[in-house]
A and B are shown apart, each in its own frame.
Chain A
C-alpha cells in the first residue's frame, strides 16, 4: 500500500470551517420555538431537601419546571454504578448538585428566575478530604466511603525488604484540575413520547449519552438519538458529564414539548462539572547501595467526589502506572478511590496516570539523592527492557530503549552543560535556574479486556459519486480524528484524501466505535477504518468492476456501476484483539495494555527567589510512538498536552471552600497563556507497533504524564527545595523556601 497521505501533514479535514468561523458548535445552533434552560443547584455540600420555594415577582406560569418527580424512567445517570441521580430528590451530596430545571424563551428572565428558587435544606455533616474520608469521620458512601480498591502484587515485597540496603519513604499529592475546554458544555434536546429523544451537543462519546438516556426515559434504544456537534475541546471533561446535561435538556424538552437549549456559562461549568481526581500517593521503596530497585510498596488514593462515576477506571489506570517504566521484582500497589462531598471528579487526559506518575518520578529523584547517584544514573540501572516484566507481570516484547530516549532528551536539552552552568551561577543569584527530567510510559487503549468488551465497529459506505463515507462514533474534538481517518482510508483505498468524508457522529446513523478516550482513536479505531477500507476495496475487486492498479476515475466509475447493478456498497469491521494478550481482572495482573508509548521529558526552569514564581524556560519532549501518522497533528498533541501539564504543575489551583470551587472564573483559575508557555520542542522515535495502523501507537494522553514531575525535579535542582505537591504555586514555594531558610538559620 502506497503511503500517499499517511505520514504526511495534510490539511485538517474541517480546517477551513474552523479558520473562517463557519464551524457550528452547539451554541451556534437555534431551532424554531426553542426555549433556553437553566439548572438550579445546591449551595450546600450535604443535606436533606425539605422543600422548594418559588420566589415572588417571577411569572412562573410561563416557565417549564422540572424536578425529579418529572423523570419518566429512572432518576439515575447510568454509567458504571447506579448511585448518581439525574436530579437530587431527597438528599444532596455535593455543592452545585442539580435539583430543579427551568425553561423559558427569555434567557435573561430565566437567570432571574433561577435566583428566585429557594431550596430548603437541612444540612448534614460532610467530608472534604481524603484523610477524613478514609478515617470515616462521616460515612457518605457504602460502609466505608470506598468506591473501589485494587490490590496488585508482584513477587514478595514483605520478604524483599531484607535485601534492601536503604528504604526511602515519601508522600506526594496532586490537586484537582479543571479541563477548561474553551467551549462550555451545552446541549439542545427535543423529546416527546411519540418520537423519542434527540440531543445535539458538545461531547466525546455519543453512545455513552445514548446509554444514559435509555433508562432515564424508559425508552428503547431506537427512540434515543445522540448527535455530536462541532466540539470545542474535551480532554475527558466531555466524556461522562454530557450525559447529565443531555438528560437535563431532554427532560425540559419532554415536559415543555419544545426544543430546549442548555449552555453553561464559564462559572457554572467550572464549579459544577468534573475535574481531575486529587490524589495522595505514599511510596516506600527498598534499594541496594548500587542503585537497584528491590521492593516498591505504593499506596495510591484518589478523591472521587460524591458519586462513583468513572473513579474505578481512573483508579485502575493510576494503579497500573504507579511503579513507572522500571524493572522491580517485588511490587505492591494498594489503591483506593474514596468519596467526599465535592462534585464528582472525572475523566481528564491521563486519567489517573499523571497523578501516580508524578509521585513515582519525584520519588525516584529523592532515592537517587539518598544513595548518591545522579537521577539519570539511578534510572539507567532500573529502566525496563525487552524480556522483563512490568509491575502487573506483563512481559515487554518490544525493543524499548530508554537509554537511547534519555540520551536524545539530554542532547536536545543540553542537560549536562546546563546542570553544570546552573550549579556554578546559582549561588547568590536572585533567579535560580534548574533542569530536571521524568521518564515514563502510557498504555494506549482500554485496559485489559476493555477493548474486547467494547467490541468497536466501524462501517464504510461509498456513494455513486465515488465518495467514501466513514461511519464511526469517534468524535473530532480537535485532536484530528477526521483527518487521520481520512488519511488511513484514502491510502487503503488508493484514492484521494478529498474523496473521504467523515459522517457526523449520530447514533441514528453510525455504529459504536467506542468512546473517544483512552488514547484509542487513532490506534484502535484507525485500525478498524483501515480494515473496513481494505474490505470495501476487496468487494470492488472481487466484483470485477475494478482492478488493482486503477485510476481514481476508474474507482469512481466502479462505485457507480456497483451501486447501480448490485445495491449499496458498504463494509464493516469489528475489533479483534491482538493475539497473545492475557489479563486477569481478579489478580489485576497480566497484559494491561497492547502497547505503551515511552518517553523522557526535560524541563528547564527559572525560580525567582523574591516573588517565588517558577517559570518553565525550555521544554524537550522525546517519545517513542510506533509510527507518526500526521507530523503536525502528532506534535500538536504533545505540545498541547505539555502546556496543560505545565498548568497542572505550576498554575492551575482549585481553591476549595466546603466542597465548592471558590475560584470558578478564568480571572482567578489560571491556565497558561501565550506569554507563559516556553518553546516546547518535540521529537519522535518510531518502533512500529504491529497492531496499530501502519505501526502507530496512541499518544493523546502521554504528554500529560511527564511535565509535572520534570518541572518539580528542575525546581529542586534550582533551589534545593523538595516540593511534593502540585500545583507548586508561589505560595507553596514560598512556604517551602522560607521553611528551609528558617531551618538553616
Chain B
C-alpha cells in the first residue's frame, strides 16, 4: 500500500521529504496537508486524494527563502540537514498557529520532529528569529 511519502518521493520525484523511521515518530516526512502538519509516512496515498499538499519544495518562493529558512541559515538550525525539511515544515506550521510562540509552545510545536545533531537549541533560536523577522515585515509594524 503506497503512502503519501512514497507518492511524493517516487512518483513526483519530490525528494525533499525524507523517510527517517516509517512509523510516525521522527517527523522527517512531515508535510502540510490541507494546512495541517502530518507525517506522510502514516498517510495512505488514497487518503491524500484531492488534498492540498505543501512540501519543503513549496516553502520558498522561487529564489526567495521563507523567513524560517533564512532563520535556520542565520542561526545554525541545520547541521546534517536530514531533519531540516520536516523541521522547517513544523516551524512554518507552528508560526502559523502561534505567531508569537512561547518557549513551551515552541517545544511542543517541534516535539514531533527529532533532531540528533543540534540538541534543538539553535532550532529554537531559528524559530524565535523567524518570528521576529515575520513580525518586522507585517503591515502596521513598519
Which residues does A use to contact B, with CB under 8 Å?
9, 11-12, 14-25, 27-28, 179-184, 230-235, 265-266, 477-480, 632-633, 635-636, 639-644, 665-667, 671, 673-675, 677, 679-680
Contacts and interface: CB of A to CB of B under 8 A. Distances in A.
B123 interface: yes
B28 interface: yes
B107 interface: yes
B46 interface: no
B115 interface: yes
A182 B75 contact: no
B78 interface: yes
Contact of A632 (B17, B59, B76, B115): B76
Contacts of A233: 79-80, 82, 116-117
Interface string B90-105: 0000000000000000
B142 interface: no
Nearest to A480: B79
Contact of A640 (B16, B74, B111, B119): B119
Contacts of B113: 674
30 contacts: A12-B76, A14-B81, A15-B72, A17-B81, A19-B69, A20-B60, A22-B16, A25-B82, A28-B9, A179-B116, A181-B80, A183-B18, A184-B19, A232-B18, A233-B116, A632-B76, A633-B76, A635-B121, A635-B122, A636-B121, A639-B118, A641-B119, A643-B118, A644-B119, A665-B21, A667-B25, A671-B114, A674-B111, A675-B107, A680-B119
A541 to B, nearest CB: 35
A226 to B, nearest CB: 19
Contact of A674 (B57, B74, B75, B120): B120
A479 B79 CA distance: 6
Contact of B76 (A9, A265, A641, A679): A9
Q: Is the interface of A mostly helix, strand, loop or mixed?
A: loop
Contacts of B19: 27, 184, 265
Given A20-B65, A266-B21, A640-B119, 11 more contacts: A18-B84, A19-B81, A20-B59, A20-B60, A25-B82, A233-B82, A478-B79, A636-B122, A644-B116, A666-B23, A674-B124
B76 A477 contact: no
B44 interface: no
B65 A24 contact: no
Contacts of A674: 106-108, 110-111, 113, 115, 120, 123-124
Contacts of A184: 19-20
A585 B84 CA distance: 44
Interface residues of B, number: 53
B131 interface: no
A636 B76 contact: yes
A639 B69 contact: no
A640 B23 contact: no
Interface string B32-71: 0000000000000000000000011101100001000100
Given A181-B80, A673-B111, A266 B22 contact: yes
A233 B26 CA distance: 14
Given A22-B16, A232-B80, A478-B81, A671 B116 contact: yes
Contacts of B59: 20
Contacts of A234: 80
Contacts of A16: 65, 73
A665 B79 contact: no
B4 interface: no
A16 B60 CA distance: 11
Contacts of B107: 674-675
A23 B108 CA distance: 27
Given A12-B78, A636-B79, A642 B119 contact: yes
Contact of A19 (B80, B88, B112): B88
Contacts of B78: 12, 15, 18-19
B51 to A, nearest CB: 19
A236 to B, nearest CB: 12
4 cross-chain pairs, A with B, having the tightest CB-CB distances, nearest first: A21-B16, A232-B82, A478-B80, A18-B81
A272 to B, nearest CB: 15
Contact of B116 (A15, A180, A680): A180
B128 interface: no
B26 A182 contact: yes
B80 A183 contact: yes
Given A673-B111, A674-B107, A674-B110, A232 B119 contact: no
Contact of B17 (A15, A21, A478, A639): A21
Contacts of A180: 116
Contacts of B83: 182, 232
Contacts of A677: 119-121
B75 to A, nearest CB: 7
Given A265-B22, A640-B79, A182 B116 contact: yes
A679 B128 CA distance: 14
A625 to B, nearest CB: 17
B42 to A, nearest CB: 12
A644 B22 CA distance: 22
A234 B81 CA distance: 12
A19 B108 CA distance: 21
Counting chain B CB atoms within 10 Å of each CB, the highest count among A28, A232, A265, A674 belongs to A674
Contacts of A27: 15, 18-19
Counting chain A CB atoms within 10 Å of each CB, the highest count among B55, B59, B65, B76 belongs to B76
Contacts of A231: 80
Contacts of A633: 76
A477 B80 contact: yes
B32 to A, nearest CB: 13
A50 to B, nearest CB: 34
B73 A25 contact: no
A679 B114 contact: no
A235 B15 CA distance: 24
A643 to B, nearest CB: 3
Counting chain B CB atoms within 10 Å of each CB, the highest count among A9, A15, A230, A679 belongs to A15
B128 to A, nearest CB: 13
A618 to B, nearest CB: 13
Contacts of B116: 179-182, 233, 235, 640, 644, 671
Nearest to B121: A639
Counting chain A CB atoms within 10 Å of each CB, the highest count among B9, B60, B78, B79 belongs to B79
Counting chain A CB atoms within 10 Å of each CB, the highest count among B23, B69, B119, B124 belongs to B119
Given A181-B80, A182-B26, A674-B111, A643 B119 contact: yes
A16 B57 CA distance: 12
A25 B117 contact: no
Contacts of B15: 21, 24, 27-28
A642 B115 CA distance: 13
A666 B83 CA distance: 15
A648 to B, nearest CB: 12
B6 to A, nearest CB: 9
Counting chain B CB atoms within 10 Å of each CB, the highest count among A181, A230, A644, A666 belongs to A666
Nearest to A179: B116
